[in-house]
């Protein structure tokens, strides 16, 4: 799997370019599209630039409700 930064969408790994299609597909299965909340969980080694890139894709997808979490630093 490597040691680089990875994106996981539900149960599979993906590339940043796949996020927009994933958000659209998930939204189609929802009763109320406004209830969609994206959760971003990152560890201490994730560069903020990578998070920003993902946020840009989410913004273009109109996925604006984002929950952030991170692992605790030791």
Residues making up the chain, counted from first to last: 74
Tokens of 6: 């990875």
d(CA 51, CA 53): 5
Tokens of 73: 């630093």
What ranges do the domains of the chain cover? 7-70
Tokens of 13: 């790994």
Could you read off the pLDDT of 24-45 as tens digits, one per residue?
A: 999 988 888 778 899 998 888 8
pTM of this structure: 0.79
* Whether 23 contacts 38, CB under 8 Å: yes
Could you read off the pLDDT of 56-71 as tens digits, one per residue?
A: 999 999 999 999 988 7
**pLDDT band (50, 70, 90) for residue 1:** low
């Amino acid at each position: 799997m490597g040691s680089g930064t990875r994106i996981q969408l539900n149960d599979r790994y993906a590339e940043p370019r796949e996020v927009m299609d994933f958000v659209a597909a998930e939204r189609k299965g929802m009763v109320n599209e406004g209830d969609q909340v994206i959760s971003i969980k990152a560890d201490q080694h994730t560069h903020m630039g990578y998070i920003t890139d993902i946020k840009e894709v989410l913004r273009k997808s109109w996925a604006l409700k984002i929950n952030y979490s991170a692992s605790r630093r030791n």
